[in-house]
Structure 1
Amino acid sequence: MRYAIYYTPAPDSPLASDAGRWLGRDAFSGEMLGAPGGLAMPSEQWQGLVAEPQRYGFHATLKAPFELRHGQTEAALVDAFDAFAASVAPFGIPEVILGQLGPFFALVPAVVHAPLQAFAASVVETFEPFRAPLSDADVARRRPERLTETQRENLTAWGYPYVMDEFRFHMTLTGPVEDDLAPTILSELKRRFSRQDGQPLAIDGLALFIEARRGEPFTIHSWRPLGLPAHSRKILP
């Protein structure tokens, strides 16, 4: 079993709906939704594009997937997750846009937003006591020879290269896209995410994801609104 702490929008939000339709999967329920209607590409091509983000569920990584450290329990992790979410006030990203991180398309902040960077760092630090050390195989999968020195240090210290100063918030929408297809894919995404492209984004909740077995789809164990104590919030699974 692996766990991850991600930002994902509230289940009843327009962004969750648009992302679920695009990726063909609802990470809250685990339901497969199939290819979206009106695709400007063959469904087989779409499936190849979304296969990886579909498995992980729509999200932005804060605490990357981890196994529990010896002596820790899921119940203790859930309690800590609930307490952390209640302790943090919601805030907003002034503008998110459709952009590329290397060959991948994602929703990203238009500019680096300091409160978001600080929030992400606090998630990494708060839940570090729950993370088991990476196995040699997990380290090798990160291709440390291709990482910068800082990224390798992060991998050793935090189990993930892209944290702290290396963190870049992104909500992945595709796998790798070939250069000649990029304009077509961007046009498709702009059509489907027109309600979000160039708009503010509320960081108002936090999700605990689980992967029951390696390689299986991640699903949402629980989603909690930020800044609300347990007695005053609507409880979601």
Structure 2
Amino acid sequence: MPFRRLALYHLPDGPLGAFGAAWLGWDARRGATLPRPELPHLPDEAETLTAVPMRYGFHATLKAPFRLAPGHEVQDVARRARLVCDHLTPFDLQLELARDYGFVALRPRQQPPQLQALEQALVTRLDDLRAPLSPEERDRRRPDLLPEPARRHLDHWGYPHVLELFQYHLTLSGQLAAEDAKALCQALQAPLAPLLAQPMAVKAVALVGEDAEGRFHQIEEIPLLGQIAD
């Protein structure tokens, strides 16, 4: 399948990953639509609440979607990502439900050094494989509204929220009015509580591609193979 853009994501697995994929209605691992769980007290139809994040699947962005630079192929990205992940260690994240800027998401209570190292390595060490932003792509990020550090990152790395501005998040909704975001958090509390009771293991990175309809598919799962110190 030809892909318009590539990205490096973390795709949660296990029960949490299954719930998140079903809630959004798209399983990026299998490239398949899923029936959504029936939850009471939603502020709107699930399809409406998740229309924007649905096509990405249940994911956290590590290197944002990018077009390949001329002369490079998907396997070049996969090979480089494997080299990065060979030397980085798995880690755990304790997640919590949060509302930020009108979006509902799962965020870690703290970002461990291993997470920061993973994101920074993927952003910086694969960047020569990324085609420069087109003027239209840059304008979609509304650079005039970004603070100066984010604008510099946009121009240098093709995405504003990287490196010291990076915040891991698993998006569960589009942008919502404050009351709708609050209501959605309340509706998601009960099904998510047992899934968040234990830390989530981060032990692999997913190379994903965007199809012609804008949906993302896992191309390869790349394990973190670094040795954890005793």
What residue in structure 1 maps to residue 17 of structure 2?
16
User: Aligned pair 1:34/2:68, yes or no?
Assistant: no
Q: Deviations over 1:161-202 (max 9, x none)?
A: 000111111010111121122332111111221133354221
Q: Deviations over 1:84-134 (max 9, x none)?
A: 3333221122x2101122100111011343332222111101211111100
User: Under a length normalisation based on structure 2, what TM-score does the superposition of the two structures give?
Assistant: 0.90
1:157 deviates by 0.6
1:219 maps to amino acid: H
Report if aligned partners of 1:96, 1:201 keep a CA contact under 8 Å in 2. yes
Count of paired positions: 223
Contact 2:208 2:218 in 1 (8 A): yes
Q: What are structure 1's unaligned runs of at least 5 residues? A: 229-237
Within 5 Å, which residues of 2 pair with 1:184-203?
184-197=183-196, 199-203=198-202
Determine helix, strand or coil for the equivalent of 2:193.
coil
Residues 64-213 of structure 1 correspond to what in structure 2 (within 5 A)?
64-93=64-93, 95-197=94-196, 199-213=198-212
Match of 2:216 in 1: 218
Alignment correspondent of 1:2: 5
Give 1:232's aligned residue. none
Percent identity of paired positions between Structure 1 and Structure 2: 35
Q: How does the TM-score come out when normalised to structure 1?
A: 0.88
Corresponding residue SS for 1:153: helix
Q: Deviations over 1:45-65 (max 9, x none)?
A: 211111111111111111000
Alpha-carbon separation, structure 2, partners of 1:75 and 1:119: 20
Q: Which residue of 2 aligns with 1:233?
A: none
What is the DSSP-based 3-state SS (H/G/I as helix, E as strand, rest coil) of the residue aligned with 1:202? Answer: strand
What RMSD, in angstroms, separates the aligned Cα atoms of the two structures? Answer: 1.7
Query: Are residues 1:25 and 2:23 paired?
Result: no
Paired with 2:57 and 2:171, the residues of 1 have a C-alpha distance of: 9
Query: What is the CA distance between 1:9 and its match in structure 2?
Result: 1.8
